[in-house]
């Protein structure tokens, strides 16, 4: 049993590596290929007498670890500059308005369609209203630098808003007043603790010596994240701030005597840490989507109710983004309109809501359809941008 588990895990990792390498050449999103591999793996493993057990626990754990690592990876790519303040504010407002519009429409539809209470409808609407930073950040590499930064800010803020609102509603005692109180208190406390904890972790990394540095640091980060979740806060703010402070340590060093904490080897240390985060993110992300495909029942995916519900969700998501980008005249609006994938955070919040609510099984299929379709639309946006660039590139080359 032990060696079989090691064998299966090794095969999954190698398959995930192959997918990451070759899916861009095929023009197919790696997330879709990984989920399909999970579908195919289930009957194939059954032929050889292998069955994966405990996925109800394993999938959420791997997904949560992946979410933290991907937000951290995205934050480690951002350089804070004054000329990016407007971009960050615009991204935050876009995330906020898009999230609110999605929650209002989805909760109203669920309230009327499933005959659930207003609070339960609000709780179930949040997973579908949240942009998945886990997919968005990794899928935005084809955009120019400013567009990539917008995606990191918007998707991270969307995740943070989603987690705050979701757990405020979950622990509201069934009242909207309780949800509002939890949201205000949780947001304030999350922000204060995030500043203290993120700065503390960065200073630890700057001073720690020896060969073993990064694993204890990541263990501390996950410890703080888990403690924040148990207190129903939004520790993703801390993860985001930790990455931002770490990658912009020169700004922190302007405070008091902190500049003496940085030595000449810090940049090398930071680069080593980025490589470790990148490797871990790849492994966890690959495992999650393969296991998600393995875990999903084909009957739920093929139910016509699942497709109808997914069509409504997708129409609301992209219709709202189209109107929003038209109103604020976003420069990269045509490409950014389609960068609104659902993924890790959507699945994780939906599973949590499912434990509390009695939901029809076809909604499991709806979640996966929305994840796959929204990811495919990101690829279509990438192909469209490439086609738009090609004639311009040809014209430049032809100009003497």
C-beta neighbour count of 200 within 10 angstroms: 13
- d(CA 104, CA 208) in angstroms, rounded, equals 47
Contact between 156 and 229 under an 8 Å Cβ cutoff? The reply is: no
Q: What is the pLDDT of residue 76?
A: 80
Please give the average per-residue pLDDT across 204-208, as a whole number: 71
CA distance 162 to 350: 11
Chain mean pLDDT for the chain:
79
pLDDT value, residue 370: 92
Look at residues 164, 170, 205 and name the one whose alpha carbon lies nearest to residue 185: 164
Give the span between the Cα atoms of 26 and 32, in whole angstroms: 12
Residue 264: pLDDT band by 50, 70, 90 thresholds? low
pLDDT at 398: 46
Q: Which pair of tokens denotes residue 293?
A: 């495909």
pLDDT > 90: percent of the chain: 8
Choice between 317 and 87, residue whose per-residue pLDDT is larger:
317
Does residue 127 contact residue 166 with C-beta atoms inside 8 Å? yes
Q: Among positive and negative, which fits the CA dihedral 42, 44, 49, 50?
A: negative
- 375 contacts 343 by C-beta, under 8 angstroms: yes
pLDDT at residue 335 tops 70: yes
What pLDDT digit, counting tens, does each position of 280-329 carry? 888 888 888 888 888 888 888 888 889 999 999 999 999 988 888 888 77
- What is the structure's pLDDT at 315? 93
Closest CA to 129 of 155, 102, 92: 102
pLDDT at 283: 87
With both helix axes pointing from N to C terminus, report the angle between 55-75 and 145-170 in degrees, rounded to the nearest 10. Answer: 140
Calculate helix-pair angle for 344-356, 118-129, nearest 10 degrees: 160
Dig out the tokens for 70 from the structure: 């991907």
Are 155 and 162 in contact by the 8 Å Cβ rule? The answer is no
Domain 2-390 falls in which CATH fold? Na+/H+ antiporter like fold (1.20.1530)
Kindly state the average pLDDT of the residues 29-53.
81
Is residue 154 within 8 A of residue 91, CB to CB? The reply is yes
What pLDDT, on the 0 to 100 scale, is given for residue 310? 92
Q: Which range is least confidently modeled, 29-43, 55-69, 162-176, 349-363?
A: 162-176
Looking at the predicted structure, is the pLDDT value of residue 119 above 90? Answer: no
Residue-level pLDDT at 80: 72
41 near 33, Cβ under 8 Å? no
Proportion of the chain above pLDDT 70, given as a percent: 84
- How far CA 49 is from CA of 40, 132, 169, 241, 267, in Å, comes to 15, 35, 43, 46, 50
| The predicted structure's pLDDT at residue 400 | 43
Residue 235 pLDDT exceeds 90: no
Say yes or no to pLDDT of 271 above 60: yes
Measured distance CA(398)–CA(221) in Å, rounded:
52
Q: 97 vs 351, which has greater pLDDT?
A: 97
Question: At 125, is the pLDDT very low, low, confident or very high (cuts 50, 70, 90)?
Answer: very high
Q: Do 71 and 236 meet the contact criterion of CB atoms below 8 Å apart?
A: yes
Per DSSP, 258 falls in state G
* 345-360 average pLDDT score: 83
Most confident of 37-41, 43-47, 164-168: 37-41
pLDDT given for residue 397 in this prediction: 46
- CA distances to 79, 255, 285 from 157, rounded to whole Å, are 17, 26, 20
| Of residues 243 and 400, more confidently modeled | 243
Structure tokens at 249: 């340590």
The total of other beta-carbon atoms located within 10 Å of residue 301's CB is: 19
Per-range mean pLDDT, top range of 119-133, 171-185, 288-302: 119-133
Q: How sure is the predictor about 85, in pLDDT bands with cuts at 50, 70 and 90?
A: confident
* Cα dihedral 326, 328, 333, 334 in deg (nearest 10): 10
What end-to-end distance do the CA atoms of the chain give, in Å? Answer: 67
Kindly indicate the confidence band of residue 252, based on its pLDDT and cuts at 50, 70 and 90: low
Cβ neighbours for 312, distance < 8 A, ≥ 6 positions apart: 109
Q: Cα separation of 95 and 156, whole Å?
A: 9
Q: Residue 25: what pLDDT?
A: 72
CA distance 351 to 90: 31
User: Is the CB of residue 93 less than 8 Å from the CB of residue 161?
Assistant: no
Summarize the confidence of residues 236-252 as an average pLDDT.
76
Averaged pLDDT, 200-223: 78
Residue 56 CA from chain centroid, whole number: 20
DSSP H helices in the chain: 2-26, 30-47, 55-75, 85-113, 118-129, 133-139, 145-170, 176-207, 214-230, 236-247, 249-252, 266-295, 298-302, 304-328, 333-336, 344-356, 362-398
């Amino acid at each position: 049993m032990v060696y079989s588990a090691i064998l299966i895990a090794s095969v999954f990792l190698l398959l995930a590596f192959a997918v990451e390498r070759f899916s861009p050449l095929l023009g197919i999103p790696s997330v879709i290929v990984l989920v399909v591999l999970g579908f195919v793996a289930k009957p194939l493993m059954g032929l050889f007498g292998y069955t994966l057990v405990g996925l109800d626990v394993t999938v959420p754990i791997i997904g949560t670890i992946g979410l933290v690592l991907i937000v951290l990876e995205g934050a480690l790519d951002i350089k804070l500059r004054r000329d990016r303040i407007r971009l960050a504010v615009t991204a935050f407002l876009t995330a906020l308005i898009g999230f609110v519009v999605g929650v209002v429409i989805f909760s109203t539809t669920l309230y009327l369609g499933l005959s659930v209470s207003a609070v339960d409808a609000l709780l179930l609407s949040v997973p579908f209203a949240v942009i998945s930073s886990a997919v968005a950040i990794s899928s935005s590499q084809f955009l120019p630098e400013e567009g990539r930064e917008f995606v990191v800010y918007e998707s991270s803020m969307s995740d943070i808003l989603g987690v705050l609102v979701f757990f405020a509603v979950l622990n509201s005692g069934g009242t909207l007043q309780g949800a509002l109180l939890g949201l205000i208190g949780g947001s304030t406390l999350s922000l204060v603790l995030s500043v203290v904890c993120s700065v503390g972790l960065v200073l630890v990394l700057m001073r720690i010596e020896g060969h073993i540095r990064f694993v204890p640091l990541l263990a501390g980060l996950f410890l703080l994240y888990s403690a924040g979740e148990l207190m129903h806060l939004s520790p993703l703010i801390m993860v985001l701030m930790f990455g931002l402070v770490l990658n912009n340590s020169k700004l922190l060093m302007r405070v008091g005597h902190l500049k003496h904490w940085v030595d000449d080897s810090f940049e090398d240390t930071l680069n080593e840490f980025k490589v470790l985060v990148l490797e871990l993110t790849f492994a966890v992300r690959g495992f999650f989507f393969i296991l998600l495909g393995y875990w999903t029942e084909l009957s739920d995916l093929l139910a016509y109710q699942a497709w109808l519900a997914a069509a409504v969700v997708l129409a609301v998501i992209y219709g709202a983004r189209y109107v929003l980008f038209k109103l604020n005249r976003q420069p990269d609006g045509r490409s950014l309109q389609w960068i609104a994938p659902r993924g890790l955070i959507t699945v994780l919040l939906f599973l949590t809501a499912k434990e509390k609510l009695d939901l029809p099984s076809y909604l499991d299929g709806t979640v996966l359809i929305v994840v796959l379709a929204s990811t495919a639309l990101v690829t279509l946006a990438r192909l469209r941008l490439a086609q738009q660039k090609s004639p311009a590139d040809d014209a430049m080359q032809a100009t003497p």
